[in-house]
Amino acid sequence: MISTIRWKDLGTPARVSERTVDLEVDGIAVTVPEGTSVLRAAAEAGISIPKLCATDSLEPFGSCRLCLVEIEGRKGYPASCTTPVAEGMVVHTQTTALAKLRRGVMELYISDHPLDCLTCAANGNCELQDMAGAVGLREVRYGYEGENHLNQAKDTSNPYFTFDPSKCIVCSRCVRACEETQGTFALTIDGRGFASMVSPGQKEDFMDSECVSCGACVQACPTATLMEKSVIDQGQPEHSVITTCAYCGVGCSFRAEMKGNDVVRMIPHKDGKANRGHSCVKGRFAFGYATHPDRITTPMIRAKITDPWKAVSWEEAIGYAASEFKRIQAQHGRGAVGGITSSRCTNEETYLVQKLVRAAFGNNNVDTCARVCHSPTGYGLKTTLGESAGTQAFDSVMKADVIIIIGANPTDGHPVFASRLKRRIREGAKLVVADPRTIDLVDGPHVTASYHLKLRPGTNVALVNSLAHVILSEGLEAADFVAERCDAKDYAKWREFIMQDRNSPEALEADTGVPADHVRGAARLFATGGNGAIYYGLGVTEHSQGSTMVMGIANLAMATGNIGREGVGVNPLRGQNNVQGACDMGSFPHELPGYRHVSDGVTRALFESAWGVKLEPEPGLRIPNMLDAALDGSFRGIYIEGEDIAQSDPDTQHVTAALEAMECVVVQDLFLNETAKFAHVFLPGSSFLEKNGTFTNAERRISPVRKVTPPLAGKEDWEVTVMLAEALGYPMPYKHPSEIMDEIARLTPTFHGVSYAKLNALGSIQWPCNDQAPEGTPTMHIDEFVRGKGKFVITEYVPTEERTSRKFPLILTTGRILSQYNVGAQTRRTANSMWHEEDRLEIHPSDAETRGIREGDWVGIRSRAGETVLRAKVTERMQPGVVYTTFHFPESGANVITTDNSDWATNCPEYKVTAVQVEPVTQPSEWQRRFREFSETQADLLAKRDSVGA
Ligand code: SF4
Ligand code: SF4
Ligand code: SF4
Ligand code: FES
């Protein structure tokens, strides 16, 4: 999938219409959908009309006057970008008069533009340069002595791109990109006429403005005015490879633009079906971690975690790990070892790790980090709808009329989806936000939520029940849909339950803290406002009733008939890039790939025959069980690929004690992360740029990950797992990840039609992909639910056991921020830290005042599990009684405070509700002091490592 750098820009966006229009451009007959511009119609016929202010990702603006054409029967020279086609139109794009007009326009532009093309970073990839050539500009009659913009100062404040106003032609593409594509409205055209110029915010630097550094303006700029610093440093790229972002569950498609083996820039792929040519700051700019000096590229071993690391060959490291696992199993039984897969890894890698555990270790002790994020989604949606996955494609949001966002913060966590959502809201769709914090979507530029249900953390189920109560008690349910599509008995039971007065918004107001009339208004809007779509995140799942809430959401969608077509649905916004895939690939202790229970004999027989081993019929250990078993001595060895449980999992001190108790901890990762500090074997990982495979995003979309540069450590991650399996005596003779996918497809009904050849042909595929849906399934449950009849489940609200008290009067809830990602291992090693260099504790002014806490003060946060210290951010985003932090920095110790409470069905930790006390302090917590000492010791032991063969 190597391609050239430039892609064809058709000038204006595609239009969708059932009616087509026939016209003639320069004697060529063209047929296009009604509403198409003349500029685009010409481009589709292969005719290039000069243009500057138009580009096919933005609505036409008509300011540069370069795209003028002659249309028979019409006076003058209309701009082809803003002129829609008409039946029978006859267009001429190249006449003597047009050539003269265009040269005149270009002459004016060039007369106020530096003539430094040869030393300009855009040389060879500049639309202004191209257009000067296209219109045949040979001289500029106006001198440079007059008034001009050539001495304007450059803004280099953004770490990733520069703004050089001396090169600006005021085409407004950047301003429109920020508005239309990103939805941030950070840029304006300041001044009028000749004095007009682009300005971030109120004539601020980019860094001080509202800009979120998505880069859409840089991509849209036809000149070198907005330019990536990487291109300025490295020069124009020469080839590109299409691949998939390794950060969040949106799964944006990118062109990695390369010079040799170096990535020069990442450009969101226009044909990417998840992102439609857009990206956020992480995917576009934060890829520098892949070549960060902290990368460890040599395998290492040590007998004890107090020993210095020894750098060894791959063979020695793998041989040592395998012998340790075998020794432990011989001494303590087959179940004394296990593995953890990561949602950051590819499907193929994840599949191999669970296969290794099941076939080579001979047990089912395999779990994934989805355990700590979206395992309730799998359970809840499988139970109610029949499939453990979201129901829609992201495109679907453009057909939604009422959108509920529950426990998700898309502008930070899923930014590219958030941009689509904001666009839809600007078009008129209504928004309901259910969140304890005032997230940006509640009241942002040109986006205001109709209702913000600012509930207390831990009361989601009460809220969803009260929404359903209003809908049923006011007769707003979709009775026909329910009668036709859902199980009647279950519905009747649920109906009787939900109609009880105790589920009314008035009865639950004291629990949720949400005024009953707001709940009633939101419920009415959702039930009667047209297509209703629900999007949710970890604010739903990471609770003691996470699975109950997912089922409550499914109940709500079914009761209102909002399933089975575009514009509706139940949409889990997955945190990491491959959460969906890690679950699909069977990295759960109770499920084989495709969500089939290990106790199912037919499924087991299928895998036993393919893998040539006998499989255990009993579920294995979940992550929390593995940790508990480590502490009681029955679990002693673990293979962890791409996961950092010492930072990401709850109750850090419990996790690290368990790791310390094990005899063989094998970590495969890019960096010596917090977990690797407790490891005995370190196997260097490969970044997403260094390997082939696939990721599956929140839409069930399987997208290719392509190797754009050789692995720094010499091996792709899947090759390392293959080596380990072989050393354990279980050969895995794969030569390429495509063969692993072929095996997955053979053994997994929803993947039967998936292959690398098809992925290359289609770009990406939403599973199920099989004989019934050879090109995949954008919308699920269209005619019937996967389980047959939709199942309503009674969702009794049970308050969490984590209660506030006099000692712990506040509730701590956690989340993420745009510029950082998860444990921060990647983003902390990029310039993204300029936006967020530490985790802070957000606290409401009244809670701060009563404790004598001011902005920036150090505050101690104490829970029943532990204590840590952060700096305070006093903000009215919070509600009184609730504090909030992110968890991107290990030294913050956010998970030292979180408890081991978890979802009743899946053990997903209750990160979102921890009772705490907060008070001003002057020094780090005891845990932070120990953490620092331990980290320094481990850094020292790493520095002392031997060289290979020494
Ligand atoms: S910065 Fe670039 S896109 Fe924006 S107005 Fe200037 S030339 Fe056009
Ligand atoms: S980088 Fe994105 S947010 Fe910032 S000004 Fe450009 S388009 Fe707007
Ligand atoms: S939205 Fe997510 S997938 Fe897309 S570029 Fe940003 S981090 Fe990557
Ligand atoms: S491209 Fe049409 S007016 Fe600029």
Out of 178, 202, 207, 210, mutate this one to test ligand 2's pocket (max ligand atoms within 8 Å of CB): namely 178
State the ligand closest to the CA atom of 178. Answer: 2
pLDDT at residue 896, as a whole number: 84
Residues having CB closer than 6 A to ligand 4 are 51-54, 62-67, 79, 81
- Judge if the beta carbon of residue 220 lies within 6 A of ligand 1: yes
pLDDT over 80 (residue 210): yes
Q: What is the mean pLDDT of residues 861-871?
A: 92
Instruction: Answer whether 220 contacts ligand 2 (Cβ < 6 A).
Output: no
Per-residue pLDDT for 950 more than 50? no
In the reported structure, the alpha carbon of residue 416 is separated from the centroid of ligand 2 by a whole-number distance in angstroms of: 13
Q: 51, 110, 161, 170: which to mutate for ligand 1, most atoms within 8 A of CB?
A: 170
**pLDDT class for 396, splitting at 50, 70, 90?**
very high
- The predicted structure's pLDDT at residue 146: 61
Q: Is 567 in the pocket of ligand 2 (CB under 6 A)?
A: no
Do the beta carbons of residue 40 and residue 56 sit within 8 Å? yes
**What is the Cα–Cα distance from 616 to 604, expressed in whole angstroms?**
8
Distance in Å, CA 19 to ligand 2 centroid: 36
Ligand 2 centroid from CA 182, angstroms: 7
Q: Provide DSSP, 619-646.
A: ----HHHHHHHHHTTS--EEEEES--HH
Ligand nearest to the CA of 688: 3
325-362: string of b/e by CB count within 10 Å (b at 16+)? Answer: bbebbeebeebbbbbbbbbbbbbbbbbbbbbbbbbbbb
135-139, 174-178, 813-817, 830-834: which has the minimum mean pLDDT? 135-139
CA–centroid distance, residue 414 to ligand 3 (Å): 7
User: Would the CB of 248 count as within 6 Å of ligand 3?
Assistant: yes
Examine the pLDDT at 831 and tell me if it is beyond 70: yes
Whose Cα sits closest to atom 6 in ligand 2? Answer: 217
For ligand 4, atom 3, name the residue with the nearest CA: 62
Q: Which residue CA neighbors atom 7 of ligand 2 most closely? A: 178
Query: Which of 160, 214, 245 gets mutated to test ligand 3 (max ligand atoms within 8 A of its CB)?
Result: 245
The answer, yes or no, to whether any atom of ligand 3 lies below 6 A from the CB of 433, is no
Q: Ligand 3 centre and the CA of 698: distance in Å?
A: 12
- C-alpha of residue 224 to centroid of ligand 1, in Å: 9
Q: How far apart are CA 843 and CA 948, in angstroms?
A: 51
Q: Are 579 and 571 a contacting pair, CB within 8 Å?
A: no
Of residues 28 and 151, the one with the higher pLDDT is 28
Rounded CA-CA distance 9/55 in Å is 6
Gap from CA of 134 to ligand 4 centroid (Å): 14
**Helix (H) or strand (E) run with residue 27 in it:** none
**Crossing angle, helix 737-747 and helix 601-611, to 10 degrees?**
150
Mean pLDDT computed over every residue of the chain:
93
- State pLDDT tens for residues 891-902: 887 888 888 788
With a 6 Å cutoff on the Cβ, whether 418 touches ligand 3 is no
Q: Give percent above pLDDT 90 in the chain.
A: 82
Can you tell me the distance from the alpha carbon of 469 to that of 360, in angstroms, rounded to the nearest whole number? 51
Name the one residue in this structure whose structure tokens are 């004989």. 771
Select from 175, 188, 211, 219 the residue to mutate for testing ligand 2; criterion: most ligand atoms less than 8 Å from CB: 211
Residue 113 CB less than 6 A away from ligand 1: no
What is the per-residue burial (b if ≥16 Cβ within 10 Å, else e) of 399-420?
Answer: bbbbbbbbbbbbbbbbbbbbbb
- Cβ–ligand 2 contact at 214 (below 6 Å): yes
For residue 163, the ligand 1 atom closest to its alpha carbon is: 1
Q: Indicate the Cα dihedral angle 534, 540, 544, 548, nearest 10°.
A: 10
Question: Distance (Å, rounded) from C-alpha 625 to C-alpha 623?
Answer: 5
Cα(539)–Cα(373) distance, integer angstroms: 9
Distance 246 CA to ligand 3 centre (A): 8
Single-letter amino acid code for the residue at 386: G
| Sequence-ordered list of residues with C-beta below 8 angstroms from that of 221, at least 6 positions apart, any chain | 173, 174, 227
Which residue is closest in CA terms to ligand 1's atom 2?
221
Task: Say if CB 775 and CB 762 are below 8 A apart.
Answer: yes
Cα 222 to averaged position of ligand 2 atoms, centre (Å): 15
215 Cβ inside 6 Å of ligand 2: yes
The region, left, alpha or beta by phi > 0 then psi within -120 to 50, assigned to residue 475 is left
Q: If you ran DSSP here, which 8-state letter would residue 809 be given?
A: -
In percent, the amount of the chain with pLDDT more than 70 equals 98
Q: Tokens representing 404?
A: 């509920």
Look at residue 817 in the predicted model and tell me its pLDDT.
Answer: 86
Is pLDDT of 948 > 50?
no
CA of 417 to the centre of ligand 1 (A): 25
Question: What are 142's two structure tokens?
Answer: 């106006």
Ligand 1 midpoint to CA 52 (Å) = 10
Specify whether the CB–CB gap between 847 and 810 falls below 8 A. yes
The CA distance from 436 to 419, in Å, is: 22
Q: Could you report the per-residue pLDDT of 845-865, keeping only the tens digit for each?
A: 999 999 999 999 999 999 998
Mean pLDDT calculated for residue range 263-283? 96
Q: Is the CB of 170 under 6 A from ligand 1?
A: yes
**Strands annotated E in 503-547:** 532-536
Asked if 721 and 641 count as a contact pair (C-beta separation under 8 A), the reply is yes
DSSP H or E run through 281: helix 281-285
**How far is residue 47's CA from residue 283's CA, in Å, rounded to a whole number?**
34
Pocket test for ligand 3, best of 219, 281, 282 (most atoms within 8 A of CB): 282
pLDDT in tens, 658-713: 999 999 999 999 999 999 999 999 999 999 999 999 999 999 999 999 999 999 99
Q: What are the strands, taking DSSP E only, across 435-506?
A: 443-444, 447-448, 451-453
How high is the pLDDT of residue 903? 85
- C-alpha Rg value of the chain to the nearest Å: 29
Residue 145 confidence (pLDDT): 62
Q: Is 247 in the pocket of ligand 3 (CB under 6 A)?
A: yes
Give the pLDDT confidence score for residue 221 in this predicted structure: 97
One DSSP character per residue, 834-868 reads: GT--S-EEEE-HHHHHHTT--TT-EEEEEESS-EE
105 CA distance to ligand 1 centroid (A)?
16
Where does the pLDDT of residue 751 fall: very low under 50, low under 70, confident under 90, or very high at 90 and above? very high
Task: Tell me if 126 CB under 6 Å of ligand 3.
Answer: no
Residue 552, ligand 2, Cβ within 6 A: no
User: Which ligand minimizes its atom distance to the CA of 59?
Assistant: 4
Q: Is the pLDDT of residue 143 over 70?
A: no
Q: Mention every residue, 6+ apart, whose C-beta is less than 8 A from residue 489.
A: none
At 949, the pLDDT band (50, 70, 90 cuts) reads: very low
Please name which of 247, 182, 251 lies closest in space to residue 219, comparing C-alpha atoms.
Answer: 182
Residue carrying the six token digits 């790493």: 942
Partners of 90 in the beta sheet? 24
- If you take atom 3 of ligand 1, which residue's CA is the nearest one? 221
Ligand 3 proximity of 889 Cβ (cutoff 6 Å): no
Phi/psi-derived region of residue 88, left when phi > 0, alpha when psi is between -120 and 50, beta in every other case? left
At 854, list the tokens. 């001011």
Beta carbon of 168 within 6 Å of any ligand 1 atom: yes
Encode pLDDT of 48-68 as tens digits.
999 999 999 999 999 999 999
C-beta of 221 in contact with ligand 2 (< 6 A): no
Q: Read off the tokens for 9.
A: 């820009």
* pLDDT exceeds cutoff 90 at 614: yes
Q: Which atom of ligand 3 is nearest to the CA of 577?
A: 3
Ligand 3 pocket member 523 (CB < 6 A)? no
pLDDT at position 140 over 90? no
Rounded distance between C-alpha atoms, residue 884 and residue 842, angstroms? 5
pLDDT of residue 1: 54
Residue 460 has pLDDT above 80, yes or no: yes
Q: With contact defined as beta carbons under 8 Å apart, do 296 and 671 qualify?
A: yes
Residue 887 banded pLDDT, cuts 50, 70, 90: confident
